[in-house]
Copies of this chain bind each other. A is one copy, B any other.
């Protein structure tokens, strides 16, 4: 099934509008191109509604947010809702500051998101309204493990029920859930946490996968998460002596570029609960 989903991305080449941070934006653009989609970045309030209108999907990423871009996120999100285009929220660092927590919370109230993707600390912050996020990484105390997986799945389903969004919690095990069904995805490599922006890249790619498969956002999100995890494995296996996180970063994008829908079908490791 992931095969069909990925084929639709490569066939439809969805144009994705990114209102995003300036740290990882270049990698987001290149991974969108790698998966067969097309990126456009725009964050000025005078143009975002129009840019959203010509796009198949939107990503709202709150890393390096500021008062100017927060307004643009709101305008773009509302326009996407009016046009029934999927919107992905990446609540980078929610919990690390009041501004991030409140921005993410108020965006959740005003905009209908197709997908919310973050680490467990960020998603818990959104669900509880307060957070203990340390920086942009998940708290150790929060980490998703095999031991607390059942609990995480229940939490994800409940938050999906509440928000109407597919909830994607990424970590050692990735949980992608709507209110009824959850994909537990076991692709990936621990080294991924040594590259900045792999989460942002995944959120961008998720928008492309969902925009090309609007009838099945849960499966499309799970496919994107699997693709990213599988690309991390391929990248890790290519590393030679002397290679580190910079080469690894390039190899992840390269792996998405070379991944066929069949490769994804074969490489995906998941169970449905």
A26 contacts B23, C-beta separation under 8 Å: yes
Whether, in the assembled complex, A170 has its beta carbon less than 8 Å from a beta carbon of chain B, the answer is no
- Across the two chains, which residue of chain B brings its CB closest to A26? B23
Of A115-123, A180-188, A205-213, A238-246, the stretch lying at the interface with chain B is A238-246
Query: Which of A177-202 touch B at CB < 8 Å?
Result: 193-197
The interface-forming segment of A40-48, A105-113, A146-154 is A40-48
Task: Give the segment of A133-141, A155-163, A214-222, A262-270 that binds chain B.
Answer: A133-141
The answer to whether A254 touches B246, judged by C-beta atoms less than 8 angstroms apart, is yes
* Chain B residues with CB under 8 A of A137: 38
Contact of B54 with A99 in the complex, beta carbons under 8 Å: no
Contact string against B for A residues 232-264, beta-carbon threshold 8 Å, 1 for contact and 0 otherwise = 001000100011111101111111111000000
Contact at A247–B254, with CB atoms within 8 Å?
yes
Contacts of A46 in B (CB 8 A): 67, 99
| Distance to closest chain B CB from A72 (angstroms) | 9
Whole-angstrom distance from the CB of A258 to the nearest CB of chain B?
Answer: 5
Partner of A27, one of B26, B42, B64, B242: B26
Q: Is the CB of B244 within 8 A of A195?
A: no
- Return chain B residues, CB-CB under 8 Å to A65: 44
A25 within 8 A of B: yes
Given known A23-B29, A29-B196, A244-B255, contact A135–B40 (CB-CB < 8 A) = yes
Query: Known: A23-B25, A29-B197, A42-B97. Contact between A54 and B135, CB under 8 A?
Result: yes
Query: Is B254 within 8 A of A33, CB to CB?
Result: no
**Interchain CB contact (< 8 A) of A194 among B34, B41, B96, B97:** B34
Instruction: Tell me the bound Cα distance from A240 to B30 in angstroms.
Output: 19
* B47→A98 contact, CB < 8 A: yes
A39 and B197 CA atoms in complex are apart in Å by 11
A-B pairs, top 3 by smallest CB distance, nearest first, are A244-B257, A244-B254, A246-B253
A-B contact pairs, 6 of them (CB 8 A): A33-B196, A41-B63, A50-B96, A243-B254, A244-B253, A247-B254
Write the residues of chain A forming the contact surface with B, with a CB cutoff of 8 angstroms.
15, 21-27, 29-30, 33-34, 38-44, 46-47, 50-51, 54-55, 63-68, 93, 96-100, 134-137, 193-197, 234, 238, 242-247, 249-258
Known contacts A41-B64, A194-B257, A234-B242; 15 further A-B pairs (Cβ under 8 A): A22-B41, A23-B41, A24-B26, A39-B136, A40-B136, A44-B64, A46-B67, A46-B99, A50-B97, A50-B98, A50-B99, A242-B258, A244-B253, A245-B254, A245-B257
